[in-house]
């Protein structure tokens, strides 16, 4: 059996796992992301890989990085939420790791995993949208992972949905991820807590009375309990998600949208309003086939599964 390690590097965590040829994760380890320090981040990645390699014989390592990856599959051109700027990540890690290393955008890796083993299995045109700290995206067409001319395609989170809107970490304003992401979820909850502590009573309880301590997971917890304020925040986010999907459908015309990432763990609280708004906003609605909107099947391990499979295939 050919085993590979996949490493999913997000804005807050590094999750590494050993993956077999069928997409099964047989061992994992987790670290916090030291996002402001390039060398520390690389040291954390190498340490996680070393831990897993000590327990398993692996043939390759795939790195799913939150950022724009050049077509050399080696260089992180830019990461809005991490410190990488033209960082030769593959070369920096190869000597430490000792097996072939492939670097891929984390959302591309998740899209590939869902196409190979999950909710988009064998779909002719599959779009993946990952909702985490920001919004990532991936596209698989005819079994080929689309990366764009320079490796930075499918950055859906940075398409403008509100001209001159909220400032984004990418340097622009009004990006989609400023309205439908974990960052947006926490920000909306904090704004509500500041404006109306009574409406945000349950949210503030979970945050020990501190609006600044509100996080996306706490909003999700409150929404699952049925808290009206948290449910409303999720409904609003779902509508933003649906509008963005309609914009993507007008350009790409996929057969399926797969929604993944940590924020998607809210399930129907997010997916139901997204589906409804997508159907209402789709150009040519009623006169064209409509893509399905499905929750991801592989959960938080999709990125590492896809990275490992791409590394094993070197493609």
| SS3 category, 143 | coil
Q: In the CATH scheme, what is the code of domain 4-112+301-313?
A: 3.30.420.40
How does pLDDT run across 12-35, given as a tens digit for each residue? 789 999 999 999 999 999 998 886
Rg from Cα positions in the chain = 19
Q: Where are the domains of the chain?
A: 4-112+301-313, 121-296
Task: Please identify which residue in the block is written with the tokens 């079994």.
Answer: 143
Return d(Cα 249, Cα 243) in angstroms, integer.
10
The model's pTM is 0.90
pLDDT tens-digit profile of 88-107? 989 988 888 989 999 999 99
CATH for 121-296, among 1.25.40.10, 3.90.650.10, 3.40.50.300, 3.30.420.40? 3.30.420.40
The answer to whether residues 185 and 216 touch, using CB atoms and an 8 Å cutoff, is yes
Q: At what angle do helices 268-281 and 228-252 cross, to 10 degrees?
A: 40
Q: What pLDDT was estimated at residue 10? A: 75
Confidence of residue 315 (pLDDT cuts 50, 70, 90): low
Contacts of 95 (CB under 8 A, 6+ apart): none
């Amino acid at each position: 059996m050919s085993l590979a390690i996949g490493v999913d590097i997000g804005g807050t965590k590094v999750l590494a796992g050993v993956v077999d040829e069928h997409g099964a994760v047989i061992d994992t380890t987790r670290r916090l992301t030291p996002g402001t320090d390039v060398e520390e981040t690389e040291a954390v990645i190498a340490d996680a890989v070393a831990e897993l390699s000590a327990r398993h014989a692996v043939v390759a390592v795939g790195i799913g990085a939150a950022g724009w990856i050049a077509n050399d599959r080696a260089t992180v051109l830019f990461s809005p939420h991490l410190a990488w700027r033209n960082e030769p990540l593959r070369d920096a890690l190869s000597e430490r790791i000792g097996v072939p290393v492939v670097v891929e955008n984390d959302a591309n890796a998740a899209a590939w995993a869902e196409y190979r083993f999950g909710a988009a299995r064998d779909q002719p045109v599959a779009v993946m949208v990952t909702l985490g700290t920001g919004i990532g995206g991936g596209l698989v067409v005819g079994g080929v992972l689309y990366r764009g001319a320079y490796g930075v395609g499918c950055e859906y989170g940075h398409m403008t949905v509100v001209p001159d809107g909220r400032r984004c970490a990418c340097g622009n304003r009004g990006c989609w991820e400023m309205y439908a992401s974990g960052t947006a979820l926490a920000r909306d909850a904090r704004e509500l807590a500041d404006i109306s502590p009574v409406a945000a009573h349950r949210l503030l309880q979970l945050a020990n009375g501190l609006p600044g301590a509100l996080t996306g997971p706490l909003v999700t917890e409150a929404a699952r309990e049925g808290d009206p304020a948290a449910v409303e925040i999720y409904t609003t986010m779902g509508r933003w998600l649906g509008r963005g999907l309609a914009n993507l459908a007008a350009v790409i015309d996929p057969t399926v949208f797969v929604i993944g990432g940590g924020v998607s763990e809210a399930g129907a609280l997010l997916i139901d309003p997204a589906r409804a708004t997508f159907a209402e906003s789709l150009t040519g609605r009623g006169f064209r086939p409509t893509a399905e909107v499905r929750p991801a099947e592989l959960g938080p391990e999709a990125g590492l599964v896809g990275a490992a499979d791409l590394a094993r295939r070197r493609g």
